[in-house]
Chains A and B, each alone.
Chain A
Amino acid sequence: MNLLGERNKEIYQGISEYKLDAQASESIMAITRLRVVIVLVKTHLSLGFSSARRSASASFPACLLAQRAGRVLLPTGSLYYCLSVLISLGFFLTERLLIAQAPTSVNQPQFTAIGVKECAACHSNPSPIHQRLGITSFVRMVEAREWLNHDRHALAYKYVDPKHNELTRKICEKLGWSPSGDEFVSQCLTCHAGVDHRAKRPSESVLQYGVQCESCHGAGSQLTRVEHHQQVNWRAKTPAQKKALGMNDLRSPKDSAEICFSCHIGEIDQNRFVTHAMYAAGHPPLPPVDFQSLLDAMPPHWKSLAEKPVPAIDGQPSPQRFELQDEYFAANFGDKYKMPVGQMAIRQSYRRTQASLIGGQVAQQVAIELLRDAASRENLWGDYALYDCNACHHELQRPSQRRQAAGRIPGRPFPMAWWLAELPTEALENRLPGPRIMAINDVFNAKPFGQRMQVLEAMNEFVVESPTSAERSRIMTGAQVRQWVQQLITLRDDDIHDYWTAKQTGWMVTIACRELLHHKSVSREPIDRLLHELSQELDLPIAKPRNSPSAQSIFLELEKNNRFDPQRTREILRQLLPQVEQNLQSERLDAQTIR
């Protein structure tokens, strides 16, 4: 038995399932509850003092809502102005005092000015006032809580904290880094805590939340938050306007996938790149990605589009209403939402498949940019982590199970196979030119690891205008989805040599087929069975969020990779192909069947 492996196994076992300290979430909840009480009281009072809304809203976001309501009920009176200022100030101080007195423990979250605290203040618990105003039909208002309690991103730093994790200490030791030193921050925490590698090391209280709200949603400032985000007309702003103010458009699969893959594939500008030295020191391998499947594995802290109340059409009142409802839909979907077809589009188009497709394109894009950026830096170029693991890590025997795609010279490592696997994109207008991927072969065939300048040139050609098919109003029809699945299976037939390409393909096919099935009432049996087989073969289910990556799961994944037999996967996919054609022919655009 390989003792190196044994050692790693022990280390992996050292990562026990980390549970966020109950006290930490408890204290957040306590504060939130206090806040709700305060806000309620404040609301009742400020109903009459709406002229004080400027001062009040500056300090208490919830006052804003109250004032909105108050404005309707009572006229503005200068009489109440001074009183309202005083009362608001009083409550402000009381609140601060109460927070200061809240039970402190070792893991007591120490919020910074901008960070989880600000978001959690509102987005942790829907208050009755939120519900009364119909806000909760539109935003869940439990986002921070959901994220903290269920999302593994909240543990991204805790997992790797050298204080708890033996593996981290070993990796650091092997790489010659001090766990408290700068390298650990600039090389590891760029992903594990969303740290900017150019900035100074943030305090532990900032780091402890790992990948937190602003890592994905975009960093804002106190000013924009107060001036824009907390104003009611925030929801009427278009995604572009929000982006200009610092908030990322995470409803767009493109923008969203770019943010995810910045860590899950890598981005050199941000210092988010797992080098071969880090892998060799013990970092688990980065698995392939399918955007929609990753998203499915993430506990949703958001409301899906289908869950949002669509405004009234054709005289039928909307079941639920919220303020600026029409403006919200207009800003996000243009005028289409007003027409029945448009509503259908919002609710029923094949958004999951679309996300999966766009995610695939973005993944390719990000990978190509990674290669390009590495090629443009002499010190990073040639890092083995840019290449397919299996190119070197294979057995030496005859007959060999080595996986070598056609058109490649043996002994010339090629970039990670799934990065550049063919992706049929006819289903969408904007596409990466697939056949040009074949041209990359020549560049990497030229000499071992490729000729740097040639790679740079080739990759620069590839960095084209990225897919903008994420235009929110785009609809993917059932016919397009079918076409996409068929082409994917056909094209990837030659490409499936390694486990990771197969796995990505498996995810994409499953997402598309399941969505097709969902929109159809046909005999599901053969497709269901084949999808199940595929899932078994490729081990598609992603570990549930709170399950920590145990030693066993990492080794099982690598074992799968080692023992992978492409033939079996190809057979399943080949059987699936005619089924997709036959059984999923007709589709019904029936709004009732949508969940």
Chain B
Amino acid sequence: MAKLRTPSYDKVGPILVRITAVMLRSAVYLLMWIIIACPLAVTSLCSDGTKLDQISDTQTLPNHTSGEFSGNTPIRGAASCAAATCHGGPLPGNASPVAPRGSEYSLWLSRDPHSRSWRTLCSNESLVILEKLRIIRSGKLADIAGFQNCLACHNTTGLGTATVMSAAANNATRENTLRPEISEGVGCEACHGPAESWYHEHFRPSFRSSAASSAITGNHTEFPGNRVDGFVDLKSILKRAQRCASCHVGDADRDMNHDLIAAGHPILNFEFASYHEALPKHWREKTDTARDRRAKLWLAGQFAMAQAELNLTLARAEQSHAASVWPELSVFQCSDCHQALTSAITKPMPNANTSLFDSTSLLGTLAKDPPRTAVQLRDSGNLNPRRWNLAGMESIFQAAPGRDAEELREQLASLENKLVTYGLRPDRTSRTTIATRTRSLAENLLNLESQFSESITHWDRARQANVASGLLRSDNLIRDWEFACRAYSAAWAVDISFSADVAHTTTANESLLILREGLIFPIGTQSSLFPRRDSRRQPLDINHWKKAAEACAEELEKLQL
């Protein structure tokens, strides 16, 4: 503490005069500074502020996945489809293996996990997440935007409807207090589109779904008497994949970001073909494409996943979504940050030997066999972008080769490079650069869409086998859990059971099982929906697993498809 020096009394007079002079002078300077500095300060503050953060040249990307529904088009709710004479017919018995027409609602309600997604949101685990995120504070809804972000995926009718919000605000989302029609989970309209404008039309003979679907992209087709808006033609595999990916990956309205993961939400590792396979069907597929369906689904999934990821990254980087924050940590590989500070000798992960891929981390990029490609790519302490969704771009380029694809490949590489360079830098420049690059990439991918959907129709099991064996023979296979999963899913999508070539099929099937075994999450790290590894089983040997991958690739190449 500075000691105040008391001036002697005879000096007080001159000192007062001097003080006054100094004060006057300072006042003048201060005034000048205020005049000069104020506009400057405002600009500089805004450069990092939240209000003026929006990028000036923001244009709305023609967003065909889901953005067009949000809040504008009312949702009627699944109950409006549930009439017994419409889609609420009796469930098929054992005698009827394929879904009979008219029982769609009943099938969805009783078998489809989507109908239970509201209950998931009301579970105790979810409440813990909501409280951790301060969406709910002391029993009251505190963050409406955050809650909307949850409802965007978990509840069709919840998106912005006042009823749900107020009900939730009063009752902290407890299911028993909410009426079933407003808490339906992922209902019919989540995938088929808001029914308000086509509800009265869609049973008429004049209603053609393929024509109606064009309404999605903004060309509202006029039907006799009524305008049809919002119907999604799910006969197209690509459209279907895009609908799924809008929640299971995310999009401009649905951001399952690192905040949610940190609060306890499981990470989204979506793979369209296998999810599609696992979904209890309430529809009938055409039988003539059955042989190649898995392969087509797989390819469509690669496109949809990449597209959704780009849309999501764009929304994050442009901060156009209320729940998004930048820097967004989940853009990067989990294990790049979440790794032990020391080696395995000092911190073995629990049950480290139960999985091949977790010697240092949950989704561990395999550190057993260095050098990691990742390490070569980045500088010390930098992060790699997560490739679960974007890795499929390579398959898109293979399926739809051409100049556009080449350009896309370059753009993707440059975006990934920027992500590596900037990492989690929070400044505006890095954010806008990433936004600009993502935007141009997303736009170019969108331009490729029609050409690509054409390639899907030509895609078959032979080409799929080609892709799969290429992935299985890659060096990255044993370094990267995510890559290995992609390779496995590609091989699985070849759907070898259709082959008459019994000898090769058996070997391939066996090696596929081994591959799958090695990829299962270790105990203690799985989410409840994922298959658990049996702790009594012998841990898999990496060499054994590697051999299985080689064998599988070999069989796929030999297989008569």
Residues of A with Cβ closer than 8 Å to B? Answer: 1-6, 8-9, 174-176, 275-281, 285, 378, 381-382, 384, 389, 392-398, 409-412, 430, 447-449, 451-453, 465, 468, 555-556, 558-559, 561-563
Contacts and interface: CB of A to CB of B under 8 A. Distances in A.
B211 interface: no
B262 A1 contact: no
A132 B475 CA distance: 79
13 contacts: A1-B359, A2-B345, A4-B343, A5-B345, A9-B343, A174-B380, A381-B426, A393-B339, A411-B263, A451-B50, A453-B48, A555-B346, A562-B340
Given A5-B345, A382-B427, A555-B342, A396 B361 contact: yes
Contacts, number: 148
Interface of B: 1, 45, 48-50, 132-134, 258-259, 261-264, 325-329, 334, 337-347, 349-350, 359-363, 367-368, 370, 375, 379-382, 424-427, 524-525
A171 to B, nearest CB: 8
Contacts of B360: 2
B338 A411 contact: no
Q: Which of the listed residues A3, A278, A378 has the most CB atoms from chain B within 10 Å of its own CB?
A: A3
A8 B350 CA distance: 23
B379 A176 contact: yes
A174 B376 CA distance: 10
B325 A409 contact: no
Contact of B427 (A6, A378, A392, A563): A378
Contact of A175 (B344, B367, B380): B380
Contact of A5 (B342, B362, B424): B342
Question: Among the interface residues B338, B340, B368, which one has the most CB atoms of the partner chain A within 10 A?
Answer: B340
Given A393-B340, A410-B262, A448-B329, A384 B132 contact: no
A562 B341 contact: yes
Contacts of B363: 396
Contact of B380 (A280, A453, A561): A280
B342 A562 contact: yes
Contacts of B49: 453
B362 A3 contact: no
Nearest to B44: A453
Contact of B1 (A396, A448, A465, A558): A465
A51 B345 CA distance: 73
B347 A562 contact: yes
Nearest to A558: B342
A416 to B, nearest CB: 14
A449 B426 contact: yes
Contacts of B427: 378, 381-382, 452
Contact of A558 (B264, B346, B379): B346
Contacts of B425: 382
A1 B426 contact: no
Contacts of B134: 409
Determine which residue in B133, B334, B424 has the highest number of CB atoms from chain A within 10 A of its CB, and name it.
B424
B337 A5 contact: no
- Nearest 10 A/B pairs, CB to CB: A5-B343, A411-B262, A280-B381, A410-B262, A2-B343, A559-B346, A396-B362, A392-B337, A281-B380, A558-B342
B380 A2 contact: no
A410 B45 contact: no
Given A3-B368, A382-B425, A384-B381, A447 B346 contact: no
B341 to A, nearest CB: 5
A381 B423 CA distance: 12
Nearest to A281: B380
Contacts of B367: 2-4
B135 to A, nearest CB: 11
A412 B326 CA distance: 11
